[in-house]
Chains A and B, each alone.
Chain A
Amino acid sequence: MSVQPTMQTETFFTIDMPYRERMELRRTRFSGGNGPRVAVLAGIHGDELEGLYVCHRLAAWFEELVRTTPEALCGTVELYPALNTLGLDTLTRGLPVFDTDLNRAFPGSAEGPLPKRLADAIMTALTGAALVVDIHASNIYLREIPQVRINQEFRELLVPIARQMNLDMIWLHSASTVLETTVAHSLNSNGTPCLVVEMGVGMRITPEYCDQLVFGILKTWQAIGVLAADVALPETDHAPLIADDDNVHYLNAQTSGLFVATASHWTDVHQGELLGTIVSPFSGAVLSEVRSPTDGILFTLREYPLVYEGSLMARVMARTGGPA
């Protein structure tokens, strides 16, 4: 006898705030058969909205699936669009009041500061899932192409999964200790596979990137048995380039001023090509020219024009991998 799929939005963590109100963390769950449980996380930083739209698009797709072909949902899909509820509601990147980056509080603890208790509740909710996708939207300063970032420590397990995600880049980065306190590192360390997606820019949504990721997520979930093999999915045609510490070049500002890009994001550039200038608002002076250090792809470009000496303006990747 087949299981009737269900959809419900539920609260999985709640506490009282000082003056009458309650803070709640909520998720939407689509439950079908006894197949794998998967999850999408968004909004752990209150200024990153791309993942919220991905959750909306997935919810709409599964609402339609449950209505039209319920038997095609073989597992459980959980959407967590707002892990930093208070930050999202108040346009704050960190956790308000506690002035803390929630994604530096993992794996958390059942007692102690609120960020650690939130982290503990999130870990408890996610541990044991077959796959978790944690969606980030860069920050308000930089625009990123759709990409997966993977710590070298977990590359064997995660790279094959990431290749199915319909994204444009897989960035393998060396173990950085500060990342040990992220939700992704904590989940991967306890045996729950978690992919970190970065795309777009803070405080904005880029619908075409979101749809690109939605199609890749659906394809990946079908491959692991969350969706029936015969469900028709949207076409996916993006193959990832491979980036690592050897082929990514950082362009940091040599002086402070107003950065004005002349190159377009997500384009091929050549060694020595002018990517932008740093100019003075007080005069007509061009203070610094920003040129590409190599032939490659401009995959990160500054969105917020003011720069301090040292501010990151762009990243260029020498091309490796991608479509044959």
Chain B
Amino acid sequence: MIRNLLCMTAPMREGFDIPCHEIGPLSPYPAAALVAGLHGDEINGVFILSRLADFLNGVEAGNYPELRLVKPVLIIPAVNVLGVNLRTRTWPFDKSDINRMFPGSTTGETTQRIAYAVLEATKHAAHRIDIHTASVDFEEIPQVRLHGPSAAERDSAGWFGLTAVMERSLSPVFTTTLMSSWKAWVGDSFVLRVGQAGTVQLGHCQRVFRALVSFLGRAGILEGVQMGSEDEDTCYFDKASAFRVFAEKAGTFVSDRQVGSWVMAGQELGYIYDSFSGNIIENVVAPVAGLLTGIRRHPLLFEGDLILRINRKP
């Protein structure tokens, strides 16, 4: 079933809404709530959740006889609908970041009203997942992000079967995010970060799609899920395991390395060229052995920009 979380007027267009999928048995609250597209340029998440809705609707229609959806699932593929259509990260009218507007309000600014509607629809779910990407400049390995997690969240983070689980402390910067507002409510909350903004990266999307199906299976929401044997072991990385390489010189960065590969200390991972003369001015090498969890994708570098991140195996 498709429901509108919120219907609002617009100055010159038709009114707009934020539609969601409600799939599975009727219940006052969903067992799992999945959200993407709080930022309009993070298309991987929008694609993954629209495909997941199609899959679960197929389960409900009997297209997968071995599977049964036994608890309800709420899916919001895109919160920032206008941002997706106009390819902007923020709310296009006033450039505010919807993921800095939580818990929101019914009487405040437009984006606060949107935030409120999203939180109300999702906060009672036992399992809550918010999908993001890195920026358009950077690519992240598909990963689970935990912010000040409970022991239960640490355990169930493994249900996704993704290679990397990144743990971070709670920071004031995140206090007005959806994740932070979720934490006031009983249940598990996860952020998934998948690739880079501005594009659909099919490999990453397929991996995270499988991860979500795995999670729903292990959470007892989707019965009959058989997980493939190709999934890798999950590594839990804390902040201290991360080694970042910053550009010592400005210029043009070029690399053909892929995130998710294991690298050796001293291995050459890319080059920085002088953007005017074309000379190589820096060889970028791995400072430690570990998993390449993030790499710069926009070639143009300011001095000091982050080029890559390697996490040492725990």
Contact = CB atoms under 8 A, between A and B. Distances in A.
B275 A309 contact: no
Contact of B12 (A112, A117, A281, A312): A281
Interface in A169-210: 177-178, 180-181
Interface in B105-163: 107-113, 135
Interface SS majority for chain B = loop
B250 interface: yes
Contact of A112 (B10, B301, B306): B306
Contact of A310 (B110, B172, B176, B303): B110
Interface residues of A, number: 36
A95 B4 CA distance: 35
Given A178-B175, A257-B11, A17 B250 contact: yes
Interface in A267-324: 281, 306-312
Contacts of A15: 250, 302-304
B57 interface: no
A113 B306 contact: yes
Interface string B1-35: 00000001111100000000000000000000000
Contacts of A112: 244, 246, 306
A163 B304 CA distance: 42
A312 B108 CA distance: 8
A235 interface: no
Given A113-B306, A181-B173, A309-B8, A18 B252 contact: yes
Contact of B275 (A19, A23, A178): A19
Contact of B244 (A19, A99, A111, A180): A111
Interface in A14-61: 15-20, 23
B173 A309 contact: no
Given A111-B304, A310-B110, A310-B112, A256 B250 contact: no
A114 interface: yes
B113 A177 contact: no
Contacts of B100: 178
Q: Which of A258, A281, A308, A309 counts the most chain B CB atoms within 10 A?
A: A308
Given A18-B301, A111-B246, A111-B304, A99 B10 contact: no
A127 interface: no
A18 to B, nearest CB: 4
Interface string B240-273: 0000101001111000000000000000000000
Contacts of B304: 15, 111, 114, 117
Nearest to B136: A99
Interface string A97-108: 101000010000
17 contacts: A16-B303, A17-B302, A18-B250, A18-B300, A18-B301, A19-B300, A114-B302, A117-B304, A177-B175, A178-B172, A178-B175, A180-B172, A181-B173, A307-B11, A310-B111, A310-B112, A312-B109
Considering the complex of A and B, which 3 residue pairs feature the smallest CB-CB distances, nearest first?
A16-B250, A310-B110, A18-B300
Given A308-B10, A308-B93, A310-B8, 9 more contacts: A15-B304, A18-B251, A19-B275, A23-B302, A257-B11, A281-B12, A306-B11, A307-B11, A308-B11
